[in-house]
Amino acid sequence: MKNTKTQPITNSTDELTNNDLIIGKADKKTLSKLQISFNNYVEKINVLREELLNVDKSAVYIRTKIDKEISPLEKEFVEKRKIYIHKLVDGLKYYKLSKKEAEEAIDIICAECQDLISKYGQKDLIKIYDQYNEMTFEEEVEEEKRMMKMHAEEMLRNHFNADNVPDYSTMNDEDFLADFLGQEEKMKEKQEKIKEERNKNKKKTSKQLENALKKQVEEELKNKSLRAIYTDLAKELHPDKEPDEEKREQKNEIMKRITVAYNDKNLYELLRLQIEYNQMKDGLSDIAEERLQIYVKVLQEQTAALRAELQNKIHNYSDEMVVKMGLGATNQQIGYKIGKYKKELTQQLSLIDQTNKDFTDPKKMKAYLKNSMEVSPMSDLESMLDSFLESMMSNTNKKR
């Protein structure tokens, strides 16, 4: 690629359209399979980049709908669940319940109180919880922390064979969280290295050796192509060759973008920069098939990386309710999920309304308790640890 006179220096690629990297010919039927493949990956990257930019915008849209359509129903549901708890408390005081019925009522009261206190911050229920539970709410929280820290130590020793696991029982929540996550990451890396060593020591077949060599050659060719684009751009746009101070500063910023793109092996961005600064004299249509084949492989990798980045951003988004209501989906799909959740909430409201009315009749309360499912506040330790860590991470982030 020959360098030509550069365009006026700009500070961003915002003026470039999504079609800048598309290989176009008068008759698109004359495009080769590689050219079509190149265009397909460019289009996929354009879509994924747009979706990444729109995650936050979509999150705001979903959160607005949640606040308007769901939050009032959830608030009403919480209040009616509190009435449900107080009705059961009154039943224990004023109705002649059997021992089994009373135990069932207490189990439900404690489970409901624990959920509303932990998830919805209804701290006024702590007094009721403490009255009917064997341990106070504060003692339960401390006991759960103790159990989780003990389980974390056992998991590191038994599952990851970690050495020098500290005594988590003496640590505060923040230090425990930091150490445990760090230990877990180290152990996973250690296991991965062991796996790699085992694979290295395995005798490779001739086919595996051939594929490994082919992969190595491909990687060298990709790096060479990226380096060639980088070198062309650097020759023309390096700030050291610019006598004008203002333009030198602008080129400094451009070179930062070029260097970042090169270090990230971001062919898409390097090609965009070439087009932006008019360095692609003959355009993309005349790229040799051999080089185009390399470009397609690089773009394929970038597509996979962007797709993983998008999924990771959505999955780890800080607002769990926004993720639950369809972050990353279309507005139509989001509307469907929110509508479905509203319908379920409305049904639950109707049900708890009827239950609260029924509880004015001792016979109906007795029948309810007799037929109710047994409440089990304990789940398996693995899922408890996950929930505990998520809660601690959330609290740690809030403090920061």
* DSSP assignments along 172-235, one per residue: -HHHHHHHHHHHHHHHHHHHHHHHHHHHHHSPPPHHHHHHHHHHHHHHHHHHHHHHHHHHHHHH
Identity of the amino acid at 138: E
Within a domain: 166 = no
Within a domain: 39 = no
Q: What is the DSSP string of 107-149?
A: HHHHHHHHHHHHHH--GGGHHHHHHHSSS-HHHHHHHHHHHHH
Within a domain: 215 = yes
Q: Domain containing 255: what range?
A: 205-286
Give the chain's end-to-end CA distance (angstroms, integer).
Answer: 50
**pLDDT score for 162:** 65
Within a domain: 266 = yes
Within a domain: 384 = no
**pLDDT score for 197:** 76
**pLDDT score for 208:** 64
- H helices of 30-70, where? 33-65
Within a domain: 367 = no
The domain tally of the chain equals 1
**pLDDT score for 269:** 87
**pLDDT score for 145:** 85
pTM comes to 0.68
Within a domain: 302 = no
The residue among 14, 45, 11, 52 whose CA lies nearest residue 256 is 11
Within a domain: 365 = no
Per-10-residue mean pLDDT, the chain, length 400 = 41 49 72 90 92 94 96 96 97 94 95 93 96 93 86 77 77 84 79 76 66 69 83 83 84 88 88 71 70 88 94 93 94 95 95 95 94 51 50 53
**pLDDT score for 285:** 73
**pLDDT score for 243:** 84
